[in-house]
Every structure is written in C-alpha cells, then in structure tokens.
Amino acid sequence: MSVVLCFQRYPFEPPQIRFLTPIYHPNIDSAGRICLDILKLPPKGAWRPSLSIATALASIQLLMSEPNPDDPLMADISAEFKYNKPVFLKNARQWTEKHARQRQKGDEEELAGDFLAAGDPEAHSTAQKRKAGQPGGTEKKFCPGV
C-alpha cells in the first residue's frame, strides 16, 4: 500500500509518495521513501510542472520491476540485487509474504495520518485531532483521482 499527497504548490512541487507497506527493494528505504529523481525538485531532482501524478506512478511501477542498484537507498539490498540475485529474489518474496497483507480501513487512515505528520507539525496536529475525534482541517489533501 502507498500514499500519494499533493500540497498547495502542486504541480510546481512534486507529490509526496511513500510506501506504507514495507518493501524489500534497493530504491525504497525502511520508511517507505522512494529514490526516484522525478519525486524531487531540481537541481538534484527532475520534477517539472508538466509532469503528472500518473507519470510519477508509472515511473514508480517501472522502478519496482527494474530496480536501479547504482542509485540505492538500501546499499545492502542493492549489493544483494547486483551480486546474488537468487538470494535477493528469495528475500523479496519472504518480505512480501510477511508484510503485504490486507489492512483494515482504520489502519490505512491512521498510517496516512502518520505519513502526513512525519514531515509537518501542522499536519501532525491535525492527525492527532482526527485520532481524538476532533474536527480539524489542513491545506494538505490526498491527490484527487489517484
């Protein structure tokens, strides 16, 4: 499972995309962050306002099927992918069986709130209010149509 968030400055800033389900992949870290240039602004990234969420998701899908071991977030997994692919495939399969399970709707909402809160104190406050059943809005929204 992943979450896609758009902020007020989208499309001038890239959407934030993160995996909530742990992924055994050289380009995805333990927090679900994705190493992909189009998810970052220049000069280090390649995001442009002409790109879309669909483009970002298609790029992630390609990255999932074709990891880039030369630009890893997880050096140990990258080395395994490059030098011992059968072990990598076995570990990836075991990781998937262990972590990829059907979540309850409440779990998804809580995880999404935690994702919002991770990088933004205002969103953290809103997520805490939502958990406590209090009203509270934020300018950050889940991207429509995703």
Catalytic site positions: 35
Smallest CA-to-CA distance from 32 within 120, 132, 99 is with 99
User: How far from 110 is each of 100, 101, 121, 128, CA to CA, in Å?
Assistant: 17, 16, 16, 10
Q: Which amino acid is at 122?
A: E
Strand ranges for 24-77 from DSSP E: none
